[in-house]
Amino acid sequence: MSIARTLLAEIQRFVVSAFSSLNQLLFIGAALAGTGALTLSLKKSWFTVPVAPQWGANSPADIVGIKPGCMTVFQAVMAIGLMAMILSWLWKRHWTIVSTLIASILCSVTLAFPYFVMLRSPVVSAEASWLQSQHDNLLWLGGDIHNNAEFAHRGWKSKTYLIDLPQQLSVVRLPSWSPWEMGLDRCEDLLLWLGYSNAFCNFVGMGWVMAMIGSSLLLLCSLQRDGIFEFGRAGLALSFFTACVVLAAGVGWSLPFRASQHINRSAELSSQRQFAESLAQLQKAVSLLPVLAQDTYYIAQRGTLEKELGQQTDYTRLRDGIKLERDGRYDQAYSAISSLVESDNPAIRREALRGVMRFAIQDYNSARFELSHDRFWVVIRHQPCNMKLLYLMQLQGIREGRPELVNSMRDWIYEATNRMAFGTKVILRSAANQHCAIAAGMESNAQAISDAQDKAKRP
Amino acid sequence: MNALSSKHDSTDEIRQQKQHRRILLSLLIMSFVFTVNAGYGVARFLETTQHPLRRTNYPNRWIRAAGVPSQAAYFRKTFDLPGPVRHAWIKIAAAEAFEVSVNTNPTGRQYLWRPARPFQSGTSEKGQILSWREPALALNFPRDYQWDGHDNWRLATFVEMTASLRPGKNVIAIEAESRTDSARVTFEGEIQLWSGEIIPIQSDETWYGEPAPLGPQLSDWTEVNYWGNEWRKAVACEGPTSHGLRSVPDAVYRESFQGEWIRHRSASGGEAIVFSVDWEIDKPVDEAWLRLIGNRGYELYVNDTRVRVSSVKPPDLDNGDWIFGRAASFDPTTKPELLDPDEIGSTFVGKQFETPRKADAQLELFNAPFAPANTPFRYKRVTHRVQEAGVIEPIQTLGESRRTPASPDLFPERPQPNALKHDLSSGGYLAYSIGKLLGVGMNRIEMRCLAKPGANWPTQMAMDGGALDSSGKKIEFPQAYSWMARKSTEPEAESLPVSVIGPAYSPGDRLPSMQYRGVALNSSTFRTLFPWSLAMTGLIVGLSVPAILAIAWLLSRQKIAWLWRLLPWHQTSHVDSLPLWLTVAQTIYAMMLTSSVTMCAAVLLETSLVERHEVLWWMDGTAWKIVFVIAAIASAGICLVDRFGRVALPGLKERTHGFTQKMLDLPHSVIWRHLLIWILLLGGFLRAYKLDLQPLDDDEYASTQAVLSIIDTGAPGFVAKDVYYTRSPMFHYLTAIIAFPFGGDLWSMRLQTAAFGVATQWLAYICGVQLLRSRWVGMVSMLLIGVHPLEIFTGHVIRFYQMQQFFALLTVYCFCRGFISLKPGGVSTPASGQHHSSSVDDSPLQVQRWRIATIFVFLSAVLSQEISIAFAPCLIIGYMLFAKDLGWQKNIELVVYSVVAVGIIGMDFIAFQTLCLTRTEGVSPSIEAAVKPHFWYPLNLLSIFIGYSRLHVVPSFFLFCGIPLLKREHNRNALALVAFLMSGIIMTNLLVTSVSLRYLYWLFPIWILLSVDGMRLIVTTLVEIVYPPHENLNRYVVTSGLCCFVCLCSILGSWSLWRIPGSYELRILGDSTTAVRWVRSQKRPGDKLAITEPHTHCAFIEGDKCDYDIAIPLQYDFAVMRDGVLVDRNGGGELISSLDDLIAAFSKGDRVWVVINREKFRTRGKNLRWEYPGARFESFLRQNCELKYRTYLWTVFLWDPARGHYKPFQLQE
């Protein structure tokens, strides 16, 4: 009874204090919203990249999402931090300096998440970068959508040609020389080396956003007492937060430079024809910065070095395939490259699929539609969210007079874009619906045409 | 009493000791800072001694086109060559841009780009580009600066032309372009024939020059057979200079190739070979170069240093076996391979350039090698019901007929994947500048050629080169027979003399075009120089400072008093109570501080100017020399002030105190008011001067059209029925009210923006005075806003950004007065550091009426530009952080007013959704800015601190360094401004769905205020350490004043203010206005006008009517369906969104004036950009229409059916 009375009194005191001022009310609201957001961040995904299941995708429903392994750790840290925040408040019934420090740590930890995803989770980040690259390739001013806009309404699509794939998959760009020569021109790289790329932004989940909002709101709340903002505490929090960020950024930035040193050394050894040592240096660079192993140039370079050492690996096989392609021996090249699409190495697999897609695009542009169709399907099974491919397959459907393929690809596009954050996805969806309208025209289905056109206007 | 006194003495002593220790510690730290600073500066200066720039003369006259000076000039000269050409080159400088074509083949160019882009952006000669640094902030929907262009003429461009010339009749055509009305060019060059004859090329009156090729254009004016008999002679004129700089050893271009083919004596075709030669050099080298031709991929070494140049080229011939982790890392990951019209079956086969791109000048074959006859498969596959009715077999379905044809698969040539192609077999002719890598003595040149397994042709190469000593005397390159070769696969392979085949280049041969790759980098230069400079400076400082202090200590202890008597002022009374050694420490500190500030300002300035032509001043070391002199003079001046202040020469102190006091009282004097008025007048003048010269930009036309419509009809309607301008009602209606009495005159519309610009300046001053408590900060901020190049430009365009900025700043001001503690009138000066009111305001004066004013001013900001709504969360955060609770009654009052404001914003939104928003017929491929949460392109969070062309780097440095010092001041307003700036940047980026600096424009004044305040804080904090103002007022004022002045100069210098005056004489924007006005003057009844999107409103306003809107690609933002036809929403013109639409428009039989924005199609010169939409369209225009007129970035074509010329397309449907 006495406990209940105490509790009631406490609640009464809380309510009275809450309504004592507008500031107090706002701070309580912010604290509740922050707690809610952080709680939600524990439930929601922080980062998901849509990929094919292990056995390959046959329909949009098969698409699965992969998450970086570190996500669970971050969520656990957030859970512990949230509990600590609540306990710190319950301890004194108001926010203390401990609460401020905890909130600062939570903010810093949340900001560090992109680094651990984009630079320390190579497969996930490479998949994200590859999909983002497809997206940009379609949408930039020289991309398929802009270039083919002139023929957008042509049912035949006979003048619609496909634009080649991006030159290279690269998650981070290396520093060219040394830290001494870092200038303002590398600002973007500095951000990339901390994981802040558009690839991250496009696949970031609600969980991370909620964690950012929640930790920021809690930090804001912890800087006041009784609705009065405490500048001393804010200064401390700011200093602590800045120190954490600077330290973390320093560590983060050191790795590309160290990796670059190894790569420069590797290049030097290669030119001295010490290929084994060169390869070892290259691998040291990758051990420092695992995401380098996903780079198109790394794969090609490693193939060259291993070839010189007389080894037979997937890297050398891919290199041989590309060399055959370069020499114009296309059948042999395709055979070599397509055999690697089942490789255990995801980087090789991706490059091989890129090769297959390259062939398919050339087939399409040369009107060998059956060949291109088959080859596109090889890729789609492995990369069901490859935007470029889905778009191209719609065109293929129109050129081949297969409306069902066009409609099916529209569903794939919707499924894939559901997992993307950028607003530019509506452009893709609109184009997909426009293709469906053309496809419906093939079947003389006026209602379907009208529906598709409506959806193209408001995708 | 004695005990008390003794205690007091002891406390004083402790305090003094603490002060002494503080000064010594500060001196130690300052010595370190000075050492690093000076070491860096000296290293940078020493590095410039190796710069590649050399003076070069322009010996010939500058020429311009005949007649009235024009923005585009065309020069051509035909001549007969009696025999085969051995070598030909040209050195050219233009004011401002040029393109050289030889026999229709474009060989070199320097296009005009916005000055906010890096210097040399449009240069074709990549090896001659001085810096490959990418822009710190890439341009994205920029607004231009009030700047004239880069001084491109300061740097001559060399172009090699050998491959394009042939015996017989030839033509050299040069196109010059300028933003001003006088496109000029000067050049010199030579054509060397195998017969030994030398034909000079020089700019003079023997050239023909026309402002634009008027009259029928039946053939390309760059063709040799072009009928140019009516052309007038070019006119010699004054040029900007008679000399410039070059970045390339000119012998690379001036001399013909002398190398001889060499091979290994016994190696097979597939083996890797290393060629090497020793080059004896007996004098220090000024310049050196190498040119080589090889048929393998290679690595080139000079003295065991790999020859590498700055470049963004993908892996190439000279990259050896290594492709990972070098310059290729610059490749944008999303950049696709270029569209090849030959490969994709374009209708313009072989027409990527107007000159057939696959032509082979060596074979004199100028036809496309991949014409349909050669590759029938791809060009016969296209079927069309109308054109080839019989092709489709009736038994086949439509789809089946378009599937893989039964024709044999010919496997047409495929493009290789660029990323991996790294093709090593094609060979090439490359040149390098290698002066940095050579030394006196024996130098080893080594070319390591790669193996090519299976190759049945041997590895061979030819190389020539040379060097110049400091007197300009040539040092000859070793002869071919001096070379040795070895098979590198053998560890200790024996080097054998090479087999010399003979000259690589002889009569009858043709070399590929030379690619000058650039200056070989010596990456260790700075890394070597910096530690060395640091050590030397450290040594000097480390020895001299303790020595000086020791002498001063001895002097003060009378140990070496005789030395003291030698000093000239020894007899004057020394009034300073401090010991001599300590005063000397103070002096040294102040001198080092002044020097360090100067050097630091210089480093910041250099960093800011890297992307502009001003970088030339730093590259050749001139600027550094001036900086050193300024630093020395400033330090010496401070030393004199300090020493004279201490010895108290009779009357001097009083006089100087009088001066200091005047400076302190200046903000309260009449002069100050005059100063403020003059600064405001300057701001107003810079915005209003020649207001009507600049053409309206596309967005400005939209606002102008809306304003004119309001004046006419009361609603912001466009031409198309029921289409209204959707944004910023307050701006447009206010402008209409102002412009109404003047009938919508341009001056009345633009002047109101200028007035808002000046008002913003004044408001910034008020903010400085009342929020940051410093009249000096206010005045300097006002000055900086007045002369900021983007503020000036935006401050006179008919657009809402300036109004939004004003109301946003006013919102901040009102907020601070209403929600943040400050009693008005608390003002200090940076010099005194003494606040006239208490620094901490415990009883805040947060007035309700200011709070209400905040709400309504914020409402005005939103109504003047809707994206201001992004500021709302900042205000809420600001309220939570800073506001005092004034009780529920006032809170409720506030809530009610807020609800009213939200209601009005809601009404605006509802009106926008129901009345103004035009439902589009599709989704545009480019997304317009809107208020919607999103997160992308994180770099834009830093964009305001960098600015396009690095404009904001220097002030931002002071801002960031000053923030930690804000705490000292206990000024809540300053903290609030920081909070607004940071949260404003974050919110604008997260809530406005487009990435562009212009959306952050409203934050510029806050950023400037905080930067200036940061500068004041940094300088005064550093000076106060040794010169507390209450003890050393004179020294404090002079030192901090001098340092602030240097910093201010650095900021102003980083804004390239010298570029502003010239900008009033030229067109900063593409000149659509003049182009359309010209068309209007030429139009006949019945003529039609077509214009590229989104300038249809220009055609409507300036040309009376817009008949067609050229929308390539079709962007639905500007199109609406009316009566079953897609029309442009602004001008009402019918949409032309494909080439077929254009042909249909032409087929109606009217004359059609086609006004094209070349920037829109990404085409600036002769070459068409096939990777972008619009190339087919423009190619058609070039082939079928007359080029009638040109302005900056705009071209006017005329389709006249009566002309009887039509060139159909091969695959036209």
Which ranges of A44-121 does DSSP label H, i.e. alpha helix? 70-92, 97-118
Instruction: Judge whether A68 and A201 are in contact, CB under 8 Å.
Output: no
Distance of CA B574 to the CA centre of its chain: 56
Instruction: Judge whether B433 and B249 are in contact, CB under 8 Å.
Output: yes
What residues of B are in contact with residue A369 (Cβ under 8 Å)?
Answer: 402-404
**Rounded-to-integer distance, Cα A385 and Cα A367, Å:** 25
Average pLDDT over chain B, rounded to whole? 82
B interface mutation test: which of A148, A188, A272 has the most B CBs within 10 A?
A188
Of the given ranges (A138-152, A238-252, B400-414, B865-879), which has the lowest mean pLDDT? B400-414
Handedness of CA B225, B226, B231, B237 (dihedral sign): negative
Q: How far is B359 from chain A (nearest CA, A)?
A: 22
Q: Look at residue B236 and give its three-state secondary structure.
A: strand
Q: What integer pLDDT is reported at residue B391 of this predicted model?
A: 33
What residues of A are in contact with residue B934 (Cβ under 8 Å)?
Answer: 421-423
A146 and B489: CB-CB below 8 Å?
no
Cβ-based neighbours of B359, under 8 Å, separated by 6 or more: B105, B350, B365, B366, B367, B368
What residues of B are in contact with residue A164 (Cβ under 8 Å)?
Answer: 336-337, 339, 415
- Binned at pLDDT 50, 70 and 90, residue B863 comes out as very high
Distance of CA B62 to the CA centre of its chain: 27
* DSSP conformation class of B559: T
Q: What is the pLDDT of residues B587-630, one digit of tens each?
A: 999 999 999 999 999 999 999 999 999 999 998 888 999 999 99
Higher model confidence: residue B426 or residue B633? B633
A367 and B405: CB-CB below 8 Å?
yes
Instruction: Judge whether A428 and A391 are in contact, CB under 8 Å.
Output: yes
Question: Residue B403 pLDDT more than 80?
Answer: no
If phi > 0 it is left, if psi is from -120 to 50 it is alpha, else beta; for residue A225 that is beta
Q: What is the pLDDT of residues B723-769, one digit of tens each?
A: 888 788 999 999 999 999 988 888 999 999 999 999 999 999 999 99
B934 and A423: CB-CB below 8 Å?
yes
Handedness of CA B942, B945, B951, B956 (dihedral sign): negative
B891 and A369: CB-CB below 8 Å?
no
Question: Residue B305 pLDDT more than 90?
Answer: no
Amino acid letter at B419?
Answer: A
A 64-93 residues inside an 8 A Cβ radius of B: none
Q: How far is A61 from chain B (nearest CA, A)?
A: 27
Q: What is the DSSP string of B714-752?
A: SS-B-SSTT-B--S-HHHHHHHHHHHGGGTS-HHHHHHH
Q: Look at residue B1136 and give its three-state secondary structure.
A: strand
Q: Look at residue A279 and give its three-state secondary structure.
A: helix
Q: What integer pLDDT is reported at residue B319 of this predicted model?
A: 77
Tell me the β-bridge partners of B866: none
**Rounded-to-integer distance, Cα B1041 and Cα B594, Å:** 10
Q: Look at residue B265 and give its three-state secondary structure.
A: coil
Strands, DSSP E only, in B125-183? 157-160, 168-177
Please count the other Cβ atoms lying within 10 Å of the Cβ belonging to residue B196: 8
Nearest CA in chain A to B1112: A150
Q: What is the DSSP string of B196-228?
A: S-EEEEE-STTSEEESS--S--SS-TTSTT---
Question: Residue B407 pLDDT more than 50?
Answer: no
Amino acid letter at B882?
Answer: F
- Binned at pLDDT 50, 70 and 90, residue B280 comes out as very high
Tell me the β-bridge partners of B657: none
Joined together, the tokens standing for residue B323 give 């492709």
- Binned at pLDDT 50, 70 and 90, residue B564 comes out as low
Whether A257 and chain B come into contact, CB under 8 Å, resolves to: no
Which architecture characterizes domain B257-335+420-504 according to CATH?
Answer: Sandwich (2.60)
Burial class (CB in 10 A: 0-12, 13-18, 19+), B1181: buried
Which ranges of A19-69 does DSSP label H, i.e. alpha helix? 22-43
What residues of B are in contact with residue A367 (Cβ under 8 Å)?
Answer: 378, 381, 404-405
A156 and B946: CB-CB below 8 Å?
no
Q: What is the DSSP string of B534-567?
A: HHHHHHHHHHHHHHHHHHHHHHHTTTTHHHHHHS
- Binned at pLDDT 50, 70 and 90, residue B369 comes out as very low
Question: Residue B857 pLDDT more than 70?
Answer: yes
Question: Residue B362 pLDDT more than 80?
Answer: no
**Rounded-to-integer distance, Cα B937 and Cα B995, Å:** 7
Question: In which element (H, E) is residue B28 found?
Answer: helix B2-48
- Binned at pLDDT 50, 70 and 90, residue B827 comes out as very low
Distance of CA B534 to the CA centre of its chain: 32
ipTM of the complex: 0.91
Q: What integer pLDDT is reported at residue B206 of this predicted model?
A: 93
Q: What integer pLDDT is reported at residue A154 of this predicted model?
A: 67
Joined together, the tokens standing for residue B1105 give 């009517």
φ/ψ (deg, to 5) at B180? -90, -175
Q: What is the mean pLDDT of residues B401-423?
A: 39
Q: What is the mean pLDDT of residues B473-490?
A: 87
Nearest CA in chain A to B324: A297
**Rounded-to-integer distance, Cα B728 and Cα B800, Å:** 7
Q: Look at residue B1103 and give its three-state secondary structure.
A: helix
User: Do B54-246 and B257-335+420-504 share a fold?
Assistant: yes
A434 and B922: CB-CB below 8 Å?
yes
**Rounded-to-integer distance, Cα B1024 and Cα B1014, Å:** 15
Higher model confidence: residue B313 or residue A201? A201
Q: What integer pLDDT is reported at residue B642 of this predicted model?
A: 83
Question: Residue B443 pLDDT more than 90?
Answer: yes
pLDDT in tens, chain A (459 residues): 667 777 677 667 666 666 667 778 888 899 999 999 999 999 999 999 999 888 888 888 888 889 999 999 999 999 999 999 999 888 877 888 899 999 999 999 999 999 999 988 999 999 999 999 888 888 888 788 887 787 766 666 666 677 777 777 778 887 765 666 678 888 888 898 999 999 999 999 999 999 999 999 999 999 887 777 788 888 888 888 889 889 999 988 888 889 988 998 998 888 888 899 999 999 999 999 999 999 888 998 999 999 989 999 999 999 999 888 777 778 888 999 999 999 999 999 999 998 898 888 878 877 778 888 899 999 998 999 988 899 989 988 888 888 899 999 999 999 989 888 888 899 999 999 999 998 898 888 899 999 998 998 888
> β-strand B1134-1136 against B1108-1110: which pairing, if any?
parallel
Nearest Cα residue to B611 out of B947, B945, B1001: B947
B54-246, superfamily in CATH? Answer: Galactose-binding domain-like (2.60.120.260)
Q: How far is B236 from chain A (nearest CA, A)?
A: 41
Instruction: Judge whether B269 and B427 are in contact, CB under 8 Å.
Output: no
- Binned at pLDDT 50, 70 and 90, residue B106 comes out as confident
Instruction: Judge whether A367 and A393 are in contact, CB under 8 Å.
Output: no
φ/ψ (deg, to 5) at A321? -60, -45
**Rounded-to-integer distance, Cα B707 and Cα B739, Å:** 8
Q: What integer pLDDT is reported at residue A170 of this predicted model?
A: 79
- Binned at pLDDT 50, 70 and 90, residue B831 comes out as very low
Whether A3 and chain B come into contact, CB under 8 Å, resolves to: no
Q: Peptide bond preceding B52: is omega within 30 degrees of 0, i.e. cis?
A: no
- Binned at pLDDT 50, 70 and 90, residue B657 comes out as low
Q: How far is B999 from chain A (nearest CA, A)?
A: 18
Q: What integer pLDDT is reported at residue A186 of this predicted model?
A: 83
Q: What integer pLDDT is reported at residue B558 of this predicted model?
A: 67
Tell me the β-bridge partners of B279: B443
Q: How far is B883 from chain A (nearest CA, A)?
A: 8
**Roughly how many angstroms between the first and final C-alpha of chain A, as a whole number?**
60
Q: What is the DSSP string of B480-501?
A: GGG-EEEETTSTTPPPEEPEEE
Amino acid letter at B1213?
Answer: E
φ/ψ (deg, to 5) at A17? -70, -35
Q: What is the mean pLDDT of residues B332-348?
A: 38
What residues of A are in contact with residue B527 (Cβ under 8 Å)?
Answer: 178, 180
Q: What integer pLDDT is reported at residue B382 of this predicted model?
A: 31
B946 and A191: CB-CB below 8 Å?
no
**Rounded-to-integer distance, Cα A319 and Cα A322, Å:** 5
Q: What is the pLDDT of residues B1199-1209, one digit of tens each?
A: 998 887 776 65
**Rounded-to-integer distance, Cα B1052 and Cα B1042, Å:** 15
Q: Looking up tokens 């070098």, which residue turns up? A: B326
Please count the other Cβ atoms lying within 10 Å of the Cβ belonging to residue B418: 19
Of the given ranges (A435-444, B13-22, B177-186, B950-959), which has the lowest mean pLDDT? B13-22
Q: What integer pLDDT is reported at residue B390 of this predicted model?
A: 33
Of the given ranges (A29-38, B34-43, B488-497, B1125-1134), which has the lowest mean pLDDT? B488-497
Please count the other Cβ atoms lying within 10 Å of the Cβ belonging to residue A335: 12
- Nearest by CB: B967 against A158, A235, A358: A235
Joined together, the tokens standing for residue B1158 give 């070349």
**Rounded-to-integer distance, Cα B227 and Cα A384, Å:** 59
Q: What integer pLDDT is reported at residue B393 of this predicted model?
A: 36
Question: Residue B835 pLDDT more than 50?
Answer: no
Q: What integer pLDDT is reported at residue B522 of this predicted model?
A: 75
Q: Peptide bond preceding B1094: is omega within 30 degrees of 0, i.e. cis?
A: yes
**Rounded-to-integer distance, Cα B484 and Cα B5, Å:** 92
User: How many residues are listed for chain B in this entry?
Assistant: 1213
**Rounded-to-integer distance, Cα A153 and Cα A398, Å:** 12
Q: Where are the domains of chain B?
A: 2-50+525-650, 54-246, 257-335+420-504, 663-688+726-832+844-917+932-1024, 1072-1203
**Rounded-to-integer distance, Cα A394 and Cα A386, Å:** 13
Instruction: Judge whether B864 and B752 are in contact, CB under 8 Å.
Output: no
Q: What integer pLDDT is reported at residue B605 of this predicted model?
A: 95
- Binned at pLDDT 50, 70 and 90, residue B121 comes out as confident
Instruction: Judge whether A173 and B1160 are in contact, CB under 8 Å.
Output: no
φ/ψ (deg, to 5) at B637? -60, -45
Burial class (CB in 10 A: 0-12, 13-18, 19+), B762: middle
A271 and B321: CB-CB below 8 Å?
yes
Percent of chain B whose pLDDT exceeds 90: 44
Q: What integer pLDDT is reported at residue B884 of this predicted model?
A: 83
CA distances from B545 to B550, B578, B587, B1202 (A): 8, 18, 11, 88
**Rounded-to-integer distance, Cα A55 and Cα A343, Å:** 13
Q: Look at residue B447 and give its three-state secondary structure.
A: strand
Instruction: Judge whether B208 and B234 are in contact, CB under 8 Å.
Output: yes
Q: What is the DSSP string of B918-934?
A: PPPSS--SSPPP-B---
Q: What integer pLDDT is reported at residue B655 of this predicted model?
A: 65
Q: Residue B390: how many CA atoms within 13 Å on its side-chain side?
A: 0
Q: Look at residue B90 and give its three-state secondary structure.
A: strand
